[in-house]
Structure 1
Amino acid sequence: MDLVSLFEAALLGVVEGLTEFLPVSSTGHLLLLGHFLGFESTGKTFEVLIQLGAIIAILAVYSARLTRVALAIPTDPSARRFVIGVLIAFLPAAVIGATLHGFIKSVLFETPMVVCIALIVGGLVLLWVDARHQPDTIPLRTTDGPAHGWQGQAEANATYDDAMRFPLRMCLAIGLCQCAALIPGVSRSGSTIVGALLLGASKRAAAEFSFFLGMPTMAGAFAYDLYKNRALLSFDDAALIVVGFVCAFLTALLVVRLVLDFISRHGFAPFAWWRMIVGAAGLAGLLV
């Protein structure tokens, strides 16, 4: 292991932290950057394992709220419904991801062209959904039932504005949308945010539910990939992973604290354009 490898690991960690909770595909960015840097990790394990830094960052930011939910589970039905909703949303991608793990890692992760195309197509979809979605200032609905006290068009435009009170059927639908992110470049957060927006969530609530869903999804991917590749890891791999982990944690901590306010003000269009620019640049680099 040399200083160049450590620098590349640090750079990839920063990119992971910056992109994990944005709808731009952290995996797609890591795979493309690693490809053009010539950075190779055993079985592409590095790209998955440094997600632990981002997981711990979001746990740190939401620790107080998650603690309140955990303590309320025995007595509060809404707390239990929230936990069940996140688990329901987590299951589809977990089952399909485990079933297709070999194909995803050996084929999709090794095909940069797929990543570029997914970034561009996903950017177009995100731009379309962002443009058609009503601003977060419209009347709100935060329960399973219909909104009360609103008439006519206001009733039709009501949204779910509380990520912790999404209906269970809505959680399942978002979880099914997350399965698209098994294709690198699609984006886990992007697919869940698009699904939530189309189902009536406000932009801020869609992003926040994506954060919550990311915790078990990323932790599950981390644990499963570590188990599958335990025999392939070496001490050098561990050192690079630690460097990437620390950088991912610090940058993700900053992103999680700032991104919700940014999304509330600017929506998702900036991320859509970024995806398309990166995808197009990647295609140009691959075809030259």
Structure 2
Amino acid sequence: MNIYEAIILGIVEGLTEFLPVSSTGHLILVAHIMGIKDNNFTKSFEIAIQMGAILAVLFLYAKRFLKDYEVWKRIITAFLPTGLLGFLLYKFIKSYLIGNDKIVVVSLVLGGAFLLFADRVCERFCYIGDTSKLSLSRAFLIGVFQSLAMIPGVSRSASTIIGGMLVGLHRRASAEFSFLLAVPTMLIATSYDIYKSHTTFTYSEWHLLTVGFLSAFLTAVVTVRAFIGFISKHSFLPFGVYRIVLGIVYALLFL
């Protein structure tokens, strides 16, 4: 990986982390297209640059994190399933799932279909417009949905948004709760991976991580603002269709 590829992957991360299209899936597919070899560093890179996207959410939602304790209760409750399963399955996920473009393709297509289904359900049954009014039991169920995102291509954002809509959250509230829930989930996941792998990184690899981190942060700030504006007026239909088309096209061209 060179510095230009690190910038491109950082931009891809910032564009896709909070959209329901799978950032990990896109990073894997783009890396394969650019011919970047799959090794321990590239896997850690794909995880670590998510920290840039995390800081974008903290930057944009700082007041809410500092003042809204009711939302924090729901975030912590929703984090529990993913935190436990992620810790138990860390080695399996990194060894066998991350980097597998066949799994990504299947996950993109199936996830797109489920997103379209949840979006239609939400049109009739979503009635909770404020995440602070979400019950703790429903927050926990959203966390169960989020744990599915440990499979590359599923998308952490998509799984939590789908879970949110299926338990009654409106589209915008589901998206915002997904953003907020990303902070503890991704912060712990990236910190844990860096802790486990940092001794193997060279100076040039730390440089690549820094470049990817910064490009992810700047891109994510713009993307989150644009996404909230879009989803306040439109459905998730374009994202579901995009996932399905991308999965099919990639399978036909590269598998």
Q: TM-score range by the shorter chain?
A: over 0.9
SS at structure 2 position matched to 1:133: helix
Q: Deviations over 1:248-284 (max 9, x none)?
A: 0111000111211201211111111111122112212
Shift in Å, 1:63:
1.0
More helix by share: 2
Shift of 1:50: 0.5
Structure 1 stretches of at least 4 aligned residues deviating more than 3 Å after TM superposition = none
8 Å Cα contact 2:21/2:243 also seen in 1: yes
1:15 aligns with 2:7: no
What are the superposed Cα offsets for residues 227-251 of structure 1, whole Å, 9 maximum, x if unpaired?
A: 1112221111111111111110111
Q: 1:42, 1:233 within 8 Å by CA — same for their partners in 2?
A: no
Alignment match, 1:42 = 40
Gaps of 5+ in 1: 70-78, 136-156
**CA deviation profile, 1:59-107 (whole Å, cap 9, x unmatched):** 00011222223xxxxxxxxx2x322211111111111111111111111
Q: Which residue of 2 aligns with 1:219?
A: 187
Inter-partner Cα distance in structure 1 for 2:144 and 2:247:
24
Q: Report the CA distance shift for 1:30/1:232 in structure 2 as closer, same or farther (over 3 A).
A: same
Shift of 1:31: 0.8
Aligned length: 253
Distance 1:277 1:238 in 2: 35
Q: Is the 8 A contact 2:52 2:216 kept in 1?
A: yes
Partner residue in 1 for 2:208: 240
Task: Give me the whole-angstrom Cα distance separating, in 2, the residues matched to 1:194 and 1:271.
Answer: 12
Question: Which residue does 2:63 correspond to in 1?
Answer: 64
Q: Is the 8 A contact 1:113 1:286 kept in 2?
A: no
Question: What RMSD in Å do the two structures reach over aligned CA positions?
Answer: 1.4
Alpha carbons 2:47, 2:190 under 8 Å: kept: yes
Equivalents in 1 of 2:52, 2:98: separation in Å?
A: 21
- The equivalent residue for 1:231 is 199
Residues 42, 232 of structure 1: 8 Å contact kept: no
- Alignment check: 8 A CA contact 2:121 2:166 kept: no
Task: Find out whether 1:86 has 2:58 as its counterpart.
Answer: no
* Structure 2, gaps ≥5 residues long: none
User: Which amino acid in the other structure matches residue 219 of structure 1?
Assistant: L
Do 1:93 and 1:179's aligned partners in 2 also have CA atoms closer than 8 Å? yes
Instruction: Indicate conservation of the 8 Å contact 1:193/1:210, yes or no.
Output: yes
**Counterpart residue identity of residue 131, structure 1:** R
Aligned partners of 2:205, 2:40: CA distance in 1, in Å?
Answer: 8
Shift of 1:110: 2.9
Give the partner amino acid of 2:47: V
Task: Go from structure 1 to structure 2 and tell me whether the alpha carbon gap of 1:128 and 1:158 turns closer, same or farther (over 3 Å shift).
Answer: closer
SS in 2 for 1:230: helix
TM-score by length of 1: 0.84
Answering whether residue 143 of structure 2 is matched by residue 196 of structure 1, we say no
Contact persistence 1:164–1:209 (CA under 8 A) = no
Residues 126 and 170 in structure 2, CA contact (< 8 A), matched pair in contact too = no
Moved more, 180-189 or 158-167: 158-167
* Equivalent residue number for residue 76 of structure 1: none
**Percentage of matched positions with identical amino acids:** 43
- Indicate the residue corresponding to 1:116 in structure 2: 105
**Conserved in 2, the CA contact under 8 Å of 1:51 and 1:248?**
yes
2:240 counterpart letter in structure 1: A
| TM-score normalised according to structure 2 size | 0.95
**Alignment pair present for 1:127 and 2:116:** yes
Q: Contact 1:123/1:271 (CA < 8 Å) preserved in 2?
A: yes
SS of residue matched to 2:232: helix
Indicate whether 1:283 and 2:254 are aligned. no
Q: Encode CA deviations 1:21-48: one digit per residue, 9 max, x unaligned.
A: 0110000000111122122453400001
For 2:133, the equivalent position in structure 1 comes to 165
Alpha-carbon displacement from aligned partner over 1:148-189 (angstroms, at most 9, x marks no partner): xxxxxxxxx461100233110011000011111000000001
Amino acid at match of 1:132: V
